[in-house]
Amino acid sequence: MTTIKLHNTRTRKKEEFVPIDPKNVRMYVCGPTVYDRAHLGNARPVVVFDVLYRLLREVYGAEHVTYVRNFTDVDDKINARAAETGRPIGEITAETTQWFLDDMGQLGALEPDHMPRATQYIGQMIAMIEVLIEKGHAYEADGHVLFAVDSWKEEYGKLSGRSVDDMTAGARVEVAPYKKNPMDFVLWKPSTDDLPGWDSPWGRGRPGWHIECSAMSYELLGASFDIHGGGNDLMFPHHENEIAQSCCAHPEGRFANYWLHNEMLQVEGRKMSKSLGNFFTVHDLLEKGVPGEVIRFVFLQTHYRKPMDWTEKKAREAEGVLRKWRALTAGIEPAASAAPAVVDALADDLNTAGAIAELHRLAADGDAAGLLASAQLLGLLTEEIGAWAEGPKLDLSSHEARLAAARAEAMESKDFAEVDRLKAAYLAAGLEVRMSKAGVELVPGPEFDAAKLEGVG
């Protein structure tokens, strides 16, 4: 059996993955808070852990892997959106949940085995909080229930590499007067009549964010499971707090054995930000004509533990590669299994960049069947997300010949006006213009519009 190695955030080293039960490999990944469209950064962990899910299924068998990814559908951001729009909270969360599933489906992400909504597990959250109070790890104050970090002081902070004393000394935010320690965090908070709320031993209220994942993972995966994943922005405090709650409520378990965190995403070398005008959702890109498969390919070119830079140039190049691969594999049955070198790359801490390099080699060797099976292990070249590449094949040979002739003439006359005119027209039509000693190539980009080629001559 293939040996999988994963970088464990908790131990800060790459370790051989040994599941608790090879017949029941279990993974939990933190999902979205559903109040708006998923932005591009939200999609990166979905794709990263989709690849890991596919690899685990390949190695252990699909029937032996359980993947859970939650939806947070009770949250102050959702409450604010309801107040802002006047729409019912349930209507907003139902709509945005479906948006998320639709958009991630366009990226080729398989749906997890379980997708629990936080509001479906309020009873389990209340029960876990009661246990924490009973064991001396939580306390009630002013209608709130808080986790007492001092009760877990020796262990708290080990995931993120922080100490409670250092975090307390560095706390600069205004601390609620009812907290015993500035680092204590909310398990339950009171709700006013205009906010969602549930009856509890501490009055009508709603859960804090962190308790949701602890309760849902326990109910669906048990006190100990194999892998917990998410973006590295969740490492502290969310994942740190999950560990504290879960291990204190269920000391018989270890919670998660392996912790994986993906790095963040940039756009054209800069942090994605509305103020910089480079903030966009997955839906925005899809609406602009960027295929979901192209988005996925760009993501996979960078290792999940490195910052990923989204650029239009990468998207254009990815579309060109995928078109060639789809043409090469058209009408071909995939090989019985992915190429061993591709599986080995993925098994080495999800080295997707290395796996894609192997796909290029398979394509160069003309191994269409091997390419197809191997690409599909990464969620590429699947039928489900291939509609964008269908339709009449573009014949740009006459335009390429025209530009090549203009360039040859310009080399003689030293007058490049016609070359510049043609290049400008082709770029305006959404074509990438590639000129080299080997010749001229026109490659359709995400915004290609064939109608704009009319009259170019």
Q: What is the pLDDT of residues 45-59, one digit of tens each?
A: 999 999 999 999 999
Is pLDDT of 392 > 60?
no
pLDDT of residue 278: 81
Is pLDDT of 404 > 80?
yes
Which H/E stretch holds residue 8? strand 5-8
For 298-338, the pLDDT digits (tens) are: 999 999 999 999 999 999 999 999 999 999 999 999 999 99
- Give dist(CA 152, CA 426) in Å, integer: 64
Is pLDDT of 211 > 60?
yes
- Report the pLDDT averaged over residues 392-409: 85
Task: Write out the binding residues for ATP.
Answer: 274
pLDDT of residue 248: 98
Q: Which of 114-128, 155-169, 402-416 has the lowest mean pLDDT?
A: 155-169
Is pLDDT of 420 > 90?
yes
pLDDT of residue 391: 60
For 439-452, the pLDDT digits (tens) are: 888 887 767 777 88
What residues does 432 pair with on adjacent strands? Answer: 443
| DSSP annotation of 160 | T
Which of the two residues, 249 and 431, has the higher pLDDT score? 249
**How far out from the chain centre does Cα 416 lie?**
46
Q: Mean pLDDT score of the chain, rounded to an integer?
A: 94
For 283-293, the pLDDT digits (tens) are: 999 999 999 99
For 4-36, the pLDDT digits (tens) are: 999 999 999 999 999 999 999 999 999 999 999
Question: What are the residues whose beta carbons fall under 8 Å from the beta carbon of 349, sequence distance 6 or more?
Answer: 5, 6, 7, 14, 303, 305
DSSP string of 69-138? E-BB---HHHHHHHHHH---HHHHHHHHHHHHHHHHHHTTPPPPSB--BGGGGHHHHHHHHHHHHHTTSE
Is pLDDT of 425 > 60?
yes
User: Helix-strand-coil percent breakdown of the chain, rounded to 5?
Assistant: 45, 20, 35
- Report the pLDDT averaged over residues 394-398: 82
pLDDT of residue 43: 97
For 221-280, the pLDDT digits (tens) are: 999 999 999 999 999 999 999 999 999 999 999 999 999 999 999 999 988 887 788 889
| DSSP annotation of 237 | I
Q: How many residues does the chain have?
A: 457
For 162-180, the pLDDT digits (tens) are: 888 877 766 555 678 899 9
Closest Cα partner for 381 from 424, 437, 318?
Answer: 318
Task: Write out the binding residues for Zn(2+).
Answer: 30, 213, 238, 242
User: In order of start, what are the domains of the chain with their CATH numbers?
Assistant: 5-262 (3.40.50.620), 266-389 (no CATH), 396-453 (no CATH)
Q: Which of 190-194, 340-344, 347-351 has the lowest mean pLDDT?
A: 190-194
pLDDT of residue 274: 79
- Report the pLDDT averaged over residues 106-111: 98
Closest Cα partner for 67 from 33, 102, 29, 34?
Answer: 29
Give the pair of three-digit tokens for residue 57. 């299924």
Share of the chain above pLDDT 90, in %: 84
pLDDT of residue 90: 95
For 64-91, the pLDDT digits (tens) are: 999 999 999 999 999 999 999 999 999 9
pLDDT of residue 9: 98
- How buried is residue 333: exposed, middle or buried, by Cβ count under 10 Å (0-12/13-18/19+)? exposed
- Give dist(CA 419, CA 151) in Å, integer: 73
Task: Write out the binding residues.
Answer: 30, 213, 238, 242, 274
Q: Are strands 25-29 and 224-231 parallel, antiparallel or unpaired?
A: parallel
